[in-house]
Amino acid sequence: MAAAARVTAIRGPALTYTGDPFQQGLEATMRYEPDAIVAMAGGRIAHFGPARALRGKLPRGTKVEDHGRDALIMAGFVDCHVHYPQTEIIGAYGAQLLDWLNKYTFVAEQRFADERHARAAARVFLKECLRNGITTAAVYCTVHPQSVDAFFEESTRLGLRMIAGKVLMDRNAPAAVSDTAQRAYDESKALIARWHGRGRSMYAITPRFAPTSTPEQLAAAGALKREHPDCFVQSHVSENKAEVEWARALFPGRRDYLDVYDHYGLLGRRAVYGHCLHLSERELARMHETGTAIAHCPTSNFFLGSGAFDLGKATRTERPVRVGLATDVGGGTTLSFLQTLNEAYKAAQMNGYSLSAGHAFYLATRGGAHALDLEDTIGSLAPGMEADLVVLDLKSTPLIAFRMRHAADLAEALFIQMTLGDDRAVRATYAAGKRVYARPAQRFG
């Protein structure tokens, strides 16, 4: 922290995690402070703790914004997989994955050749992220390098820690959204040089999925990851049964779908795969072994009829796989992280596992940061962490306010939020210590 950095602070009940409750239990990892202060300076958290202990430690004249007893301060939500160009086709009717891609997605993504279109879309998308308390996301752009420039320029303007990359496709897609193996390499390399590690921007090498890349293009992506090991890799795997069969037919020499990416050096820490619905035990074990992460996209999986992700199986203590949560807009139907938690609960229920609210809010914050290998930087409330925060209003609608009167304890209050809450529950969002969203006043009752 710079010595002269000005300290600002917020006050209210606060929730954070010091470890992984799926592995160590909630008791050991969840920290709730009924009246906390989070003090911020130089873009980071300077102090976090009970208000009574901290008040005397803050520099004289520090402005403390009190959010009151019906608030809950948390680390900002981490969306591990989302497509900003698909904001304009969210909620498109009546197709499963492969038809949906051809009918809506590849059509919409062509418009991002126009940088002005890309910039306008990035603005809408990022504004929507902040309205929902999302402060970091792993974002797919389109094949056009200008779609990446537009995105990072806008996220930089807001001071956000964002991960993004140019989509790579050199087969099975329209020419207007395709590149070649060589162009994929050259354009990604130039974008890495321009953006990775510049301010809060980080680059993700982004082969869309195995069926739209030739072996040569996947090899080029693998070479980029070898040359830039601290860049991310993001792609899709095992979302839909027809997709799985297609990938296996295109790469008959590989053991299974995940092995295609493995073969080209695309697994490991900072590699994040969307969906992972139909993975075999071998594939899950390989993800565990390599530190590869799953982006669980429940609203998308239900909307596209892909299936219900088995969270209990993925996080099994003998071979836990890193799991983060994701909206996957526009296959996903909302940027509300609370609604994403709601659907994650239902997906787990379909597999006989009841996701607790304590575990769910871990996934939304520190768990997502862990999946992205960023848990030392974002995802929790602790001195030294980057000051990205969300403040929830625990009584954001008449129904929630009424239901909260009957909440017996913290676990129940949190579960009500994730079941009934949405964008209206987000009262404020902070990025690098600055307030970047404040909900307009709302009155009811």
* Binding site residues, Zn ion, CB under 5 A: 274, 328
Task: Give the CB-nearest residue to ligand GUN.
Answer: 331
Complex with ligand GUN: residue 301 or 380, whichever CB lies closer: 301
To ligand GUN, the closest distance from the beta carbon of 382 in angstroms equals 34
To ligand GUN, the closest distance from the beta carbon of 239 in angstroms equals 5
Complex with ligand GUN: residue 212 or 336, whichever CB lies closer: 212
To Zn ion, the closest distance from the beta carbon of 237 in angstroms equals 11
Complex with ligand GUN: residue 147 or 300, whichever CB lies closer: 300
From the list ligand GUN, Zn ion, none, pick the one residue 286 interacts with, judged by a Cβ distance below 5 to 8 Å according to partner type.
Answer: none
Complex with Zn ion: residue 272 or 385, whichever CB lies closer: 272
The crossing angle, in degrees rounded to 10, of helices 181-195 and 215-227 is 20
Complex with Zn ion: residue 155 or 240, whichever CB lies closer: 240
To Zn ion, the closest distance from the beta carbon of 331 in angstroms equals 6
To ligand GUN, the closest distance from the beta carbon of 290 in angstroms equals 21
Considering only CA atoms, which of 229, 216, 232, 230 is closest in space to residue 264? Answer: 216
Complex with ligand GUN: residue 101 or 284, whichever CB lies closer: 101
From the list ligand GUN, Zn ion, none, pick the one residue 429 interacts with, judged by a Cβ distance below 5 to 8 Å according to partner type.
Answer: none
HSE (CB half, 13 Å, CA atoms) of 416? 23
To Zn ion, the closest distance from the beta carbon of 326 in angstroms equals 8
To Zn ion, the closest distance from the beta carbon of 251 in angstroms equals 20
To Zn ion, the closest distance from the beta carbon of 149 in angstroms equals 21
For 357-377, letters b (16+ CB in 10 Å) and e give bbbbbbbbbbbbbbbbbbbeb
From the list Zn ion, ligand GUN, none, pick the one residue 208 interacts with, judged by a Cβ distance below 5 to 8 Å according to partner type.
Answer: ligand GUN
Complex with Zn ion: residue 22 or 100, whichever CB lies closer: 100
Cβ(170)–Cβ(204) below 8 Å:
no
To ligand GUN, the closest distance from the beta carbon of 111 in angstroms equals 15
Complex with ligand GUN: residue 8 or 235, whichever CB lies closer: 235
From the list ligand GUN, Zn ion, none, pick the one residue 117 interacts with, judged by a Cβ distance below 5 to 8 Å according to partner type.
Answer: none
Cβ(231)–Cβ(192) below 8 Å:
yes
The crossing angle, in degrees rounded to 10, of helices 145-157 and 181-195 is 20
To ligand GUN, the closest distance from the beta carbon of 235 in angstroms equals 8
To ligand GUN, the closest distance from the beta carbon of 288 in angstroms equals 23
From the list Zn ion, ligand GUN, none, pick the one residue 105 interacts with, judged by a Cβ distance below 5 to 8 Å according to partner type.
Answer: ligand GUN
Complex with Zn ion: residue 75 or 326, whichever CB lies closer: 326
Complex with ligand GUN: residue 300 or 417, whichever CB lies closer: 300
Residue 32 corresponds to which tokens in the numbers above?
């709730």
Considering only CA atoms, which of 340, 329, 358, 260 is closest in space to residue 298? Answer: 340
Cα–Cα distances in angstroms (integers) from residue 306 to residues 48, 220, 303, 413, in the given order: 41, 29, 8, 31
The contact set with ligand GUN (CB under 6 A) reads 83, 97, 101, 105, 208-209, 236, 239, 300, 328, 331
d(CA 360, CA 306): 21
From the list ligand GUN, Zn ion, none, pick the one residue 39 interacts with, judged by a Cβ distance below 5 to 8 Å according to partner type.
Answer: none
Complex with ligand GUN: residue 105 or 417, whichever CB lies closer: 105
